[in-house]
Structure 1
């Protein structure tokens, strides 16, 4: 994207409205422009970028791949401009619009209390959660806040804060225990059935321990999907690893082995520097912090 494109604020705003509303007429009404002005703004922006932003068809406008990138930039600009306008006006009006969080599905419940508090204080702001395993690109506006596991993110434009450590352990459900009992120690593991991720899945902190201690022929069920494995452990199919918070929040799970610091994963709250200070992001971060450290 050309550096001089960043001077095209009016054109970016117009493109954002066309992309959001789908037609030139709707964008013109929203902006108070003539249709010709909207078309001219699009032409100027496409000439600046050297490619098409939209594909024109009978029902309206559809974004090209280049247009998707432009929309992300325009959306961030739109949010920051609205936030600045509110601050200049000194308004304490309710936060509105949408705030998007990205997190792995098994850990979403860690944020639900904070989201509930956020919604009480900001009922006009809709929360959207992306539970995909794909890392959202915050620099493209794909999410406002990300909860990430593992090594501390090092992107130079990310604002990173510790969320805390999440521990795992080997658990058995009472359904399994009633039929098979529990191993006294690791020497008896070969007598039991297990739920485990695929052997080549190295993302998890206990993956190496599984490879070293659990024979493949004792794995009753294997899935890369953590939620599937949790359901299988809860059904009593075998022993398996769970996040400690998941076991504590559910009934019937019992730890099999002593806690192991090697099975602990650090989690991070991540925002992009451009949106970190916006009202909605600060409001959600405050809700998360208050939930972690209740007064």
Structure 2
């Protein structure tokens, strides 16, 4: 493939952001990185990167280049992996991204995949940011909310998370069990912002009056910790709350407070051997 070496150099520069970091990742001199970028920009007759004091960022043309180069790089790696896989071993890297709160649901699959394919370098990115699969930022993404409609994404329902309202036993001992008809004097943990995508935010807005106190928390892990530590009452997913004997159910999990979790891959990487082996574990 013409200019494949230069394309891979540009891909590393886009991923790492600086010439020195890209050169280190590739094991070449910085001058080689600069020369390869100049060659590509000459061949495409357009600027692929914007140079600035803190490094390099992609232009619009560069973004299009990155999409193609990232997928090609993955497919070459998959081809090599399939050849190694004929001897029973896969290799390379698998990046999975998901919300922090869904990690306990995904970890069994990651463990099973790692046990079976220990040569695969695993990375689990727990973040609310949406990985751009078309840019090679992740191989598999778990996303909550409406079904992703991005072109070239392969989307399947992973499971539906239901939420219930919980308080710790310590909170109930100190503050009393909440009476849903009169919540005055009770503390809640969570958010009722209009912009919140949490399925229980509307209930919080409609129910919590002036006599209740709200400790605003948006991170699911922090919310869970705050409820378990007795700071206030809050909504937790049933898979987090059910195993904890120190939590008291105030309102049971409901379909009204639920969110679908989707497993998403890019069509070009969906059929790669390592992605398929991981999806089998879910």
TM-score (norm 2): 0.83
What is the alpha-carbon distance in structure 2 between the residues aligned to residue 99 and residue 88 of structure 1?
17
Contact 2:81 2:90 in 1 (8 A): no
Contact 1:14–1:27 (8 Å) recurs in 2: no
2:227 is the alignment partner of 1:243: no
Shift of 1:149: 0.8
> What residue in structure 1 maps to residue 124 of structure 2?
129
| 1:107 Cα deviation from its structure 2 partner | 1.4
Q: Secondary structure at the match of 1:165?
A: strand
Q: Distance in 2 between matches of 1:238 and 1:39?
A: 56
1:53-202 equivalence runs, <5 A: 53=49, 63-66=56-59, 69=63, 70-71=65-66, 73-87=68-82, 91-184=86-179, 186-202=180-196
The range that moved more, 161-170 or 11-20, is: 11-20
Higher alpha-carbon deviation: 230-239 or 46-55: 46-55
Structure 2 distance, partners of 1:286, 1:146, is 15
Alignment partners' CA distance in 2, 1:187 and 1:14 = 64
* The one of 46, 50, 60 aligned to 1:50: 46
Q: In structure 2, the residue corresponding to 1:190 is in which secondary structure?
A: coil
Could you say which residue in structure 1 is the equivalent of 2:266? 272
* Structure 2 residue ranges without an equivalent (≥5): none
Distance 1:22 1:212, change over 3 A: closer
1:219 to partner: Cα distance: 2.1
Give unpaired runs (5+ residues) of structure 1. 1-5, 30-34, 289-295
Whose strand proportion is higher, 1 or 2? 2
Q: Which residue of 1 aligns with 2:247?
A: 253
Equivalents in 1 of 2:120, 2:81: separation in Å? 15
Aligned counterpart, 1:291? none
State the secondary structure of the residue aligned to 1:262: strand
Q: Relative to structure 1, is the Cα distance of residues 247 and 45 closer, same or farther in structure 2, using a 3 angstrom cutoff? A: same
- Secondary structure in 2 aligned to 1:107? helix
Larger helix percent? 1
| CA drift at 1:236 | 1.0
Aligned length: 273
Report the counterpart of residue 207 of structure 1 in structure 2: 201
Of residues 62-71 and 43-52 in structure 1, the stretch that sits farther from structure 2 once superposed is 62-71
> Which residue does 2:216 correspond to in 1?
222
Give, in angstroms, the shift of residue 249 of structure 1: 3.3
Shift, 1:54, TM fit: 8.5
Q: 1:276 to 1:171 in 2, by over 3 A?
A: same
Q: Which residue of 2 aligns with 1:9?
A: 4
